[in-house]
Chain A
Amino acid sequence: MQFRLEKRREPSKAMLYATPVVAVLLTMVVGAIIFSLIGFDGIGAVREIFFTPLTNAYKWQDLGVKAAPLIIIGVGLSIAYRANVWNIGAEGQYVMGGLAATWIALLTYGMSGWWILPLMVVAGIAGGALYASIPALLRTRLNVNEILTSLMLTYVSVQLIYYLVRAPWKDPMGMGFPQTRRFSADALLPNIFPGTIVHAGVPIAIVVALVAWFVMSRSVFGYQMKVVGAAPHAARYGGFSENKTIWLALLVSGALAGLAGALEVSGPFQRMVPGFPTNYGFTAIIVAFLGRLNPLGVIFGGIVIAITFVGGEVAQTSIGLSNAATGVFQAMMLFFLLAGDILVRYRIRRVVPQTAEARS
């Protein structure tokens, strides 16, 4: 017996939006079963990972702080992916944004002024966008696949951090530890509620998602992105330049990744350290898909992934579940999401072996 995937003419809108929710639910159910089968408290694991973080005000702060960069980067990626431009190197653009902001912070070290932080943010955005322009240039001029170039440039950016924090930017007071100075007060991202750890990056993430949603659904730019992605031939016929779209997609996603980098380095990190690349750029890919490549959905995706991170630590401290379990849960979620997507867009048809006559 053979099966074949057949494209559905009109994928159900409701199903399209239900898949992420179903994927999360399936992850919980299957996760609980698998962990029970291998001798852990499976239900306890699911409870600690997915629900405990929601029951505690301190954890909400953690969720916000962890979700903010994922949402900002995820929004940018969702725009690029809509246009069928596969920027896989958001991690590198995030790093370059962080480095550009660090550069400003070190240049202005010891100075004060309201303009320092905004300048760092602008530098971060520019750094991310500039770094994303390399794959854009290679793709539009030489037709080099942007997946490879953007991914490989990530590793270059990480080496650049290592170099900078070891030599030119090394903290003179750091006991030889490779890290920059701690930024001066005016280069630090303020907390929006005193006494919490919720920094200004959290509301910025929400604003970014709302603006992106408005632009994608109400502007010519958004329309162009979607048309070029969905129907390149029609787009060309309609006068939309494919190269221009590639440039825009990479610049926007790079700029947002750079923004996230600037906010992270001036907020939670407060200095540049070798541990600055924490895979936000890669995790944001899951976030973008979990959010249906819709900027509002990305908020949901970012929060769900943040829950698994924070909950993973809760599960480690409370029921001794290994750290690797968090990875298993995240991976299962992406798997169910992608599998669900296939079933929404295609139906499974049994292939009946046909005879030669029947074919002619």
Chain B
Amino acid sequence: MTLNRRTMLKAGAAAAAAIPLFGSKAFAQEEPLKVGFVLIGTVNDNGWNFGHSEGAKYMKAELGDAVAEPTIVENVPEGPDCERVLRELAQSGHKLIFATSFGYGDYVIKVAQQFPDVRFEHATGYQRSENVGTYNARFYEGRAVCGTVAGHLSQTGKAGYIGSFPIPEVVMGVNAFVLAARKVNPDFTITPVYISTWNDPAREADAARAMIDQGIDIVAQHTDGPAALQVVEERGAVGGFGQGADMSAFAPNAQLTSIIDNWGPHYVLAAQAVIDGTWESKDVWPGLKEGEVEIGPYGPKVPEDVIAAAEAVKNGQIDGSMHIFTGPINDHTGTERVAAGVTLTDAELLSMDWYVEGVIPPA
């Protein structure tokens, strides 16, 4: 930390000479690599942001003295404020910066141009440049497992899905969930609700309440915290799923299982590549097979046969014998979009802007 302050003071002195200079390369070699993480919420959200901070800890534990204690900046909004934080990290000697929310994209590209010797990695993004890579995890594989559990356990055959924004990342999760559920119960439907934020416990809980009031008994989510699960627990609905981390501490009965984001191994690889000088801009998208997406323990409400069915879906995706986006798939109006035996490509998944049959699209 003193190093950092020294850098800042150095910068202050240099400011008088109009052009601030930051940590010269010769020194950077001997110093441990400084890695920065920019988060949309707080690390104690027990979900998305918690997952990233666990990944940061894992990276530090694996690489030891080769990396400095990771710098985590919380509650950074998706707007010009994040530009300032990214610049702040780059200026204070961080050579590898992970921006972990979709809406940071424009600003990552912008700041990366100003700091060509700093590597940036943008989670769930699609814009890359010389020193900006993107990384993501195949959460849809986990959603297919959750959807299988939901298809077996739902009594009303209706699920709700709390999403942030209807971006491909979220839309593909909704679709994977309902495709899997309809393999079990062909009448299964899902209602997505978009709350325009990744992390607002009050709105997540409100959405969950409204869903339960409308006869929905499974509440899935693509938002960051356990608020919705707590509502499901309290209202005694069938259940929901942990997002990003195991949330069973908040809803011991209602959490049927969880999708655990295991970012640690990727962070180790990326940091090691920067240290070795082999880092290059690319797009990585591992999933269950690589262990970046994990399925958490099953809750007490999930009987053995359902666990077996869910595990079969999980293992099928791991050994490659099954892909949830293999046709025939109809869209929500009943028109065939994917022919039998054809599997959507990654590019098609990453630009997905249509709902499959069984989704009741928001107006």
Binding site for B on A (CB under 8 A): 52, 55-58, 62, 65-66, 162, 166, 175-178, 182, 197, 268-270, 273-276, 278, 310, 313-314, 316-320, 322-323
Q: Which residue of A162, A176, A318 is within 8 Å of B196 (Cβ)?
A: A162
Q: Which of A177, A268, A270 has the most CB of B within 10 A?
A: A177
* Residues in B whose Cβ lies below 8 Å from that of A62: 84, 87
Q: Which of B80, B85, B351 has the most CB of A within 10 A?
A: B80
Complex Cα spacing A310 to B11, Å: 16
Q: Considering the complex of A and B, which 7 residue pairs feature the smallest CB-CB distances, nearest first?
A: A57-B15, A268-B80, A55-B12, A323-B75, A275-B79, A316-B73, A323-B74
Complex Cα spacing A237 to B29, Å: 77
Contact between A318 and B81, CB atoms less than 8 A apart: no
Complex Cα spacing A275 to B18, Å: 33
Contact between A58 and B351, CB atoms less than 8 A apart: no
Contact between B73 and A178, CB atoms less than 8 A apart: no
Contact between A314 and B88, CB atoms less than 8 A apart: yes
Q: What are 12 inter-chain pairs, A to B, with CB distance below 8 A? A: A55-B12, A57-B18, A58-B20, A58-B91, A176-B171, A178-B196, A270-B106, A310-B84, A316-B71, A318-B92, A320-B71, A322-B42
Quick one: given A162-B196, A322-B74, are A313 and B84 in contact (CB under 8 Å)? yes
Q: Which of B9, B81, B168 has the most CB of A within 10 A?
A: B81
Complex Cα spacing A319 to B2, Å: 9
Q: Which residue of A56, A177, A317 is within 8 Å of B89 (Cβ)?
A: A317
Complex Cα spacing A278 to B102, Å: 18
Contact between B87 and A273, CB atoms less than 8 A apart: no
Q: Does B165 contact A (CB under 8 A)?
A: yes
Contact between A269 and B8, CB atoms less than 8 A apart: no
Binding site for A on B (CB under 8 A): 1, 4-5, 8-9, 11-12, 15, 18, 20, 36, 42, 71-75, 77-81, 83-85, 87-89, 91-92, 94, 102-103, 106, 126, 165-168, 171, 196-197, 351, 353
* Residues in A whose Cβ lies below 8 Å from that of B81: 278
* Residues in A whose Cβ lies below 8 Å from that of B85: 313, 317
Contact between A269 and B11, CB atoms less than 8 A apart: no
Complex Cα spacing A57 to B15, Å: 5
Within the complex, the shortest CB–CB distance from A193 to chain B, in Å, comes to: 11
Q: Which partner residue on chain B sits nearest A55 by CB separation?
A: B12
Contact between A317 and B73, CB atoms less than 8 A apart: yes
Quick one: given A268-B80, A323-B74, are A175 and B12 in contact (CB under 8 Å)? no
* Residues in A whose Cβ lies below 8 Å from that of B84: 62, 66, 310, 313
Contact between A319 and B168, CB atoms less than 8 A apart: no
Within the complex, the shortest CB–CB distance from A158 to chain B, in Å, comes to: 9
Q: Which residue of A57, A274, A317 is within 8 Å of B20 (Cβ)?
A: A57
Complex Cα spacing A113 to B85, Å: 34
Q: Which residue of B36, B42, B75, B103 is within 8 Å of A177 (Cβ)?
A: B103
Q: Which residue of B75, B106, B168, B196 is within 8 Å of A274 (Cβ)?
A: B196
Quick one: given A176-B353, A278-B81, A317-B89, are A56 and B8 in contact (CB under 8 Å)? yes
* Residues in A whose Cβ lies below 8 Å from that of B74: 316, 322-323
Complex Cα spacing A319 to B3, Å: 11
Complex Cα spacing A58 to B4, Å: 16
Q: Which partner residue on chain B sits nearest A273 by CB separation?
A: B79
Contact between B15 and A56, CB atoms less than 8 A apart: yes
Complex Cα spacing A314 to B103, Å: 22
Within the complex, the shortest CB–CB distance from A47 to chain B, in Å, comes to: 9
Contact between B12 and A56, CB atoms less than 8 A apart: yes
* Residues in A whose Cβ lies below 8 Å from that of B88: 313-314, 317
Q: Which partner residue on chain A sits nearest B13 by CB separation?
A: A55
* Residues in B whose Cβ lies below 8 Å from that of A65: 80
Q: Which of B11, B165, B353 has the most CB of A within 10 A?
A: B165
Q: Which partner residue on chain A sits nearest B85 by CB separation?
A: A313
* Residues in B whose Cβ lies below 8 Å from that of A314: 8, 88
Quick one: given A278-B81, A313-B73, are A318 and B11 in contact (CB under 8 Å)? no
Contact between B87 and A58, CB atoms less than 8 A apart: yes
Within the complex, the shortest CB–CB distance from B242 to chain A, in Å, comes to: 24
Complex Cα spacing A275 to B77, Å: 7
Q: Which partner residue on chain A sits nearest B74 by CB separation?
A: A323
Contact between B167 and A176, CB atoms less than 8 A apart: yes
Contact between A55 and B171, CB atoms less than 8 A apart: no
Contact between A273 and B103, CB atoms less than 8 A apart: yes
Complex Cα spacing A273 to B8, Å: 33
* Residues in B whose Cβ lies below 8 Å from that of A323: 42, 73-75
Quick one: given A55-B12, A57-B18, are A177 and B1 in contact (CB under 8 Å)? no
Within the complex, the shortest CB–CB distance from B165 to chain A, in Å, comes to: 5
Complex Cα spacing A310 to B87, Å: 12
* Residues in A whose Cβ lies below 8 Å from that of B171: 176
Within the complex, the shortest CB–CB distance from A75 to chain B, in Å, comes to: 21
Complex Cα spacing A197 to B197, Å: 27
* Residues in A whose Cβ lies below 8 Å from that of B196: 162, 178, 274
* Residues in B whose Cβ lies below 8 Å from that of A55: 8-9, 11-12, 15
Within the complex, the shortest CB–CB distance from B105 to chain A, in Å, comes to: 9
Complex Cα spacing A178 to B168, Å: 12
Contact between B166 and A176, CB atoms less than 8 A apart: yes
Beyond the given pairs A56-B15, A316-B74, A323-B75, 18 more chain A to chain B contacts, judged by CB atoms under 8 angstroms and listed by A's residue number, are A55-B15, A56-B12, A56-B91, A175-B353, A176-B165, A176-B171, A178-B165, A178-B166, A269-B80, A275-B77, A278-B81, A310-B84, A313-B73, A314-B8, A314-B88, A317-B36, A322-B42, A323-B74
